[in-house]
């Protein structure tokens, strides 16, 4: 698929931009701070309803403006049976965003998910290896949604149950502390109910993540090999991807929802005292992690800078492979990544992505874009976007 036209109104630094785009490679070139990432961030937002840089919507709206609009014409498939869809999202911080598809209002923004699919590589990806578990959970969950948009609902249901359950634990915990020494226990009659709903939503998310890891495992290993290749002759290191569940090592992690729901319910019962003590939910997919390892060592803390980059790139390349096997090529976005890589990785990454339907690259100088990715060049300077002759 590809984006054939992008329009922005009051998005980040742009008051207004109309940008026609082609299939193949487009490189956005310009010094730092000129608005290159802002452009591709908008494309990513339409695909995921989130930014790869910030968790909140407020910074996405141009300073002084009330709302931003991002609109893109998305073409899926190729002639003669290409299908186009016009996607539009109006971002109003503090209110519900509004989405439209082919000019018809969607009842919820998440109804547009799945129309545009992207895989975005960015300098921030190093956090997939070196960062917190939350970075890796986000990677998994975003990929689940890209693969099957209904998981946006599963994810938000789980987050909502978690919020409700935490609110109850917090007030129960405060009540317990207040009456410590006195008689009586706080009213926990509804905690069982939230346990049930946490297990229900949590088991669906957990089962999906487990299944996803299985699918990713061979793809990540293969991608790692291609991107790290020849490096000090160690092309066949044993790359591993494992799910680390807060249920603990004794629970068998089969992607069977009923089994997982029962395990989550048991864990809630087992942890009740601790949870009441601390006033938060201690077990569930929100406390899990994905462990990446190179041979016998975990990547986090042990891998070199170069190995960490290979792993991060391998995770993104694996997403690309996984998505393209169903529903066609996603749009690839490479935001300022080549400057982070050594010559070998740069070259190999460029080779691996060069055949995608559409590749959007940003770089400070033309020399940062590998030769394999020659295509259309667009200069970005002080918010002015101009196609180079």
Partner 1 sequence: MYEGVVQSLIDELGRLPGVGPKSAQRIAFHILAADADDVHRLATALNEVKEKVRFCVACGNVAEAEQCQICRDPRRDQSILCVVEEPKDVVAIERTREFRGRYHVLGGAISPIEGIGPDELRVKELMTRLADGSITELIIATDPNLEGEATATYLARLVKPMGLRVTRLASGLPVGGDLEYADEVTLGRAFEGRRQLDV
- Given partner 1, Mg ion, ligand ADP, none, residue 285, with its beta carbon under 5 to 8 Å by kind, binds none
Neighbours of 212 (CB within 10 A): 21
Contacting partner 1 within 181-200 (CB under 8 A)? 187, 189-190, 192-194, 196-197
Structure tokens at 317: 């390349």
The answer to whether residues 342 and 308 touch, using CB atoms and an 8 Å cutoff, is: no
Contacting Mg ion within 26-55 (CB under 5 A)? 37
Using the contact rule CB under 8 A, the part of the chain among 41-49, 54-62, 157-165, 239-247 near partner 1 is 157-165
Measure the CA–CA gap between 354 and 145, rounded to whole angstroms: 25
- List contacts with ligand ADP (CB under 6 A): 12-13, 30, 32-38, 59, 61-63, 362
Which CB, 166 or 374, lies closer to partner 1? 166
Which CB, 48 or 362, lies closer to ligand ADP? 362
Using the contact rule CB under 5 A, the part of the chain among 23-31, 137-145, 295-303, 336-344 near Mg ion is 336-344
β-strands 376-381, 384-387: how paired? antiparallel
Q: Shortest approach of partner 1 to residue 122 CB, angstroms?
A: 32
Q: Shortest approach of partner 1 to residue 89 CB, angstroms?
A: 19
Measure the CA–CA gap between 290 and 139, rounded to whole angstroms: 10
**E strand segments, the chain:** 2-11, 14-20, 24-29, 68-76, 83-91, 98-101, 104-105, 118-121, 239-244, 289-294, 297-298, 331-335, 358-363, 376-381, 384-387
Which CB, 153 or 298, lies closer to partner 1? 153
- Does position 252 interact with partner 1 (CB under 8 A)? The reply is no
Burial of 269 (C-beta count, 10 Å sphere; 0-12/13-18/19+): exposed
**Cα dihedral: 25, 29, 32, 33 (round 10):** -80
Which CB, 36 or 136, lies closer to Mg ion? 36
Q: Shortest approach of ligand ADP to residue 37 CB, angstroms?
A: 3
| 3-state SS class at 148 | coil
The answer to whether residues 377 and 27 touch, using CB atoms and an 8 Å cutoff, is: yes
Q: Shortest approach of partner 1 to residue 45 CB, angstroms?
A: 22
Which CB, 61 or 116, lies closer to ligand ADP? 61
Q: Shortest approach of Mg ion to residue 336 CB, angstroms?
A: 5
Q: Shortest approach of partner 1 to residue 150 CB, angstroms?
A: 11
Q: How many residues of this chain interact with partner 1, rule: CB under 8 A?
A: 18
β-strands 24-29, 376-381: how paired? parallel
Q: Shortest approach of partner 1 to residue 266 CB, angstroms?
A: 17
- State how far the alpha carbon of 115 is from the alpha carbons of 95, 125, 327, 341, in Å: 23, 24, 10, 31
Which CB, 52 or 147, lies closer to ligand ADP? 52
- Given Mg ion, ligand ADP, partner 1, none, residue 109, with its beta carbon under 5 to 8 Å by kind, binds none
Strand partners of residue 380 = 385
Q: Shortest approach of partner 1 to residue 156 CB, angstroms?
A: 9
Q: Which of 40, 113, 120, 161 binds partner 1 (CB under 8 A)?
A: 161
Neighbours of 361 (CB within 10 A): 28
Which CB, 11 or 158, lies closer to ligand ADP? 11
Using the contact rule CB under 8 A, the part of the chain among 155-163, 240-248, 268-276, 285-293 near partner 1 is 155-163
Task: Taking each helix axis as running N to C, give the angle between helix 36-48 and helix 133-147, from 0 to 180 degrees, rounded to the nearest 10.
Answer: 60
Q: Which of 75, 168, 317, 332 binds partner 1 (CB under 8 A)?
A: 168
Closest among 325, 363, 370 to 348, alpha carbons compared: 370
The answer to whether residues 133 and 300 touch, using CB atoms and an 8 Å cutoff, is: no
- Given ligand ADP, Mg ion, partner 1, none, residue 62, with its beta carbon under 5 to 8 Å by kind, binds ligand ADP
**Residues at the contact surface with Mg ion, assessed by CB under 5 A:** 37, 336
């Amino acid at each position: 698929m590809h984006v054939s036209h992008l329009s922005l109104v009051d998005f980040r630094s742009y008051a207004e931009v109309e940008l026609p785009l082609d299939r193949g490679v487009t490189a956005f070139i310009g010094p730092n701070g000129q608005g290159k990432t802002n452009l591709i961030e908008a494309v990513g937002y339409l695909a995921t309803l989130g930014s790869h840089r910030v968790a909140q919507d407020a910074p996405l709206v141009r300073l002084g403006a009330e709302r931003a609009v991002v609109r893109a014409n998305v073409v899926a498939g190729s002639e003669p049976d290409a299908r186009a869809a016009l996607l539009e999202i109006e971002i109003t911080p503090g209110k519900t965003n509004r989405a439209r598809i082919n000019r018809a209002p969607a009842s919820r923004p998440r109804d547009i998910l799945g129309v545009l699919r992207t895989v975005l590589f960015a300098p921030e990806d190093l956090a997939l290896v070196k960062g917190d578990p939350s970075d890796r959970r986000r990677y998994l969950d975003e990929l689940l949604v890209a693969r099957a948009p209904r998981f946006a609902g599963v994810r938000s249901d789980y987050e909502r149950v978690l919020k409700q359950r935490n609110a109850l634990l917090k007030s129960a915990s405060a009540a317990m502390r207040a009456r410590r020494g006195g008689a009586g226990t706080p009213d926990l009659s509804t905690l069982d109910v939230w346990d049930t709903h946490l297990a229900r939503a949590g088991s669906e998310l957990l089962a999906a993540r487990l299944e996803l890891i299985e699918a990713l495992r061979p793809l990540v290993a293969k991608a790692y090999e291609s991107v790290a290749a020849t490096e000090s002759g160690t092309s066949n290191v044993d790359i591993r991807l494992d799910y680390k569940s807060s249920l603990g090592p004794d629970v068998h992690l089969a992607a069977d929802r009923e089994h997982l729901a029962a395990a989550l319910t048991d864990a809630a019962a087992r942890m009740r005292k601790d949870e009441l003590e601390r006033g938060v939910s201690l077990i569930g997919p929100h406390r899990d992690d994905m462990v990446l390892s190179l041979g016998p060592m975990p990547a986090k803390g042990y891998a070199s800078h170069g190995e960490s980059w290979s792993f991060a790139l391998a995770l993104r390349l694996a997403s690309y492979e996984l998505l393209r096997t169903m529903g066609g090529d996603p749009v690839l976005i490479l935001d300022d990544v080549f400057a982070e890589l050594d010559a070998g990785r740069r070259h190999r990454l460029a080779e691996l992505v060069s055949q995608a339907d559409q590749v959007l690259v940003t770089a400070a100088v033309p020399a940062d874009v590998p030769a394999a990715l020659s295509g259309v060049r667009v200069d970005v300077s002080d918010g002015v976007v101009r196609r180079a002759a």
